[in-house]
Amino acid sequence: MNLIEKLGLTALHKLDPERAHNLSIQALRLGLVPLPGSPITSDRLRTRLAGLDLPNPVGLAAGYDKNGKAVAPLMRAGFGFLELGAATPRPQPGNPKPRLFRLEDDAAIINRFGFNNDGAQIIASRMATRPAGIPVGLNIGANKDSSDRAADFAEVVRIAGGSADFLTVNVSSPNTERLRDLQGPQALAALLRDVIKARDTLSIRRPVFLKIAPDLTDGEIADIAAVALEGGVDGIIATNTTLSRDGLSSHQGSEAGGMSGRPLFDRATVVLAALYQATGGTVPLIGVGGISSAEDAWQKIRAGASAVQIYSALIYKGFPLVSQIVEEIDQRLSGRGMTLTDLRGSGVSDWLHR
């Protein structure tokens, strides 16, 4: 990170977190953020994820660019893929402010946005005009006031699915009341059937991913794995934010909402490893939760991830973190004479016995 980037990040941290977030999106749109341009890649880094060709395995998690306002510059930030959203069928304002909190002592974030977004139609129109390049997916959710939240997911697919390269079913956000109830095996199986049925009406087949919570028992993880295997899901993203507050020291740690960032890393990685074991490595997994270094990304892949996503660490380290992680993974693979396939799942037992 150069001096200008450090000064910019410091200035943003003096502002209200949500205002700083919105300003960072605007800075990207105006070309004020230095970006590498083309995605960083090599023969070692290129990977195929559920039919998607990624130049590298490091992606942007959903939640940063909810509305697809900065998709073009983000495609030049060094990522191997992006995920926008969450999008709901109708626009909604989300929960009352304040709803985003920095826990700087813990390198963590708490948010309770509640799926604030411009609605699937507007987001789809923005995605449709993006330049060619890396895969860009859409995280999909349900409106807070919907009478049939399960049906909302299929509706977003019908509205916006044709503009996305993949679709992520988000039943794991803790900020929409009772949304996580849809992770139960019967409800989840029915929801996924409807989503995949809607997906199959699109002119081009889009992979469907499922994003799960870290706050699951071993039995719930096994149930989700079974539903995913039977339901034709193309991949699982592990994990979303957590309701746990274990080990926090920041005074804002008691705020309601989902926590992301460094304290989530271990639990999210254990869930990832458990999913890899439960699925026998047959379902591509995307590891997310607490990644702030190349070592963290390395461990997610060892725990079974085919690709990883970052978000919260960008708030503390800025966009240069993307290149740092990608380049160091490439160097490590080269130095060890390994491929991503060799690395994937090689440390599952280590994580399951922590």
pLDDT per residue over 71-126, tens digit each? 999 999 999 999 999 999 999 999 999 999 999 999 999 999 999 999 999 999 99
- pLDDT (tens digit, 9 = 90+) per residue, 252-280? 999 999 999 999 999 999 999 999 999 99
How many Cβ atoms sit within 10 Å of the Cβ of residue 328?
Answer: 15
Which entry of 163, 173, 312, 323 is annotated as an active-site residue? 173
Question: Is the pLDDT confidence value at 352 over 80?
Answer: yes
pLDDT number for residue 1: 73
pLDDT number for residue 175: 80
Judged on CB neighbours under 10 Å (0-12, 13-18, 19+), 315 is buried
C-alpha–C-alpha distance, residues 290 and 298, integer Å: 12
Question: What type of residue is 73?
Answer: P
Going by their DSSP bridges, the two strands 81-87 and 58-60 should be labelled as parallel
Domain boundaries, given as residue ranges, for the chain: 34-352
**pTM exceeding the 0.85 threshold for the entire prediction:** yes
**Mean pLDDT computed over 63-69:** 98
Q: Which run of H or of E encompasses 187?
A: helix 185-199
Question: Which string of DSSP letters, residue by residue, matches 73-106?
Answer: HHTTTT-SEEEEEEE-SS-B--SPSP-EEEEGGG
Catalytic-residue membership of 249: no
Question: Is the pLDDT confidence value at 354 over 90?
Answer: no
Going by their DSSP bridges, the two strands 307-310 and 58-60 should be labelled as parallel
- Percent of the chain scored above 90 by pLDDT? 93
Domain 34-352 bears CATH identifier 1.10.1380.10: no
C-alpha–C-alpha distance, residues 160 and 101, integer Å: 30
Q: Give the residue with greater pLDDT, 333 vs 179.
A: 333
pLDDT number for residue 139: 98
Question: Is the pLDDT confidence value at 22 over 90?
Answer: yes
pLDDT bucket at 247, cuts 50 / 70 / 90:
confident
Give the DSSP letter of residue 242. B
Strand pairing partners for 308?
Answer: 58, 287
Residue burial 150-179, b: 16+ Cβ < 10 Å; e: rest:
bebbbbbbebbbebbbbbbbbbbbbbbeeb
Q: Which run of H or of E encompasses 47?
A: strand 47-49
SS3 label, residue 64: coil
Q: What is the mean pLDDT of the chain?
A: 96
Give the DSSP letter of residue 290. S
pLDDT number for residue 180: 85
pLDDT bucket at 2, cuts 50 / 70 / 90:
confident
- pLDDT (tens digit, 9 = 90+) per residue, 298-342? 999 999 999 999 999 999 999 999 999 999 999 999 999 999 999
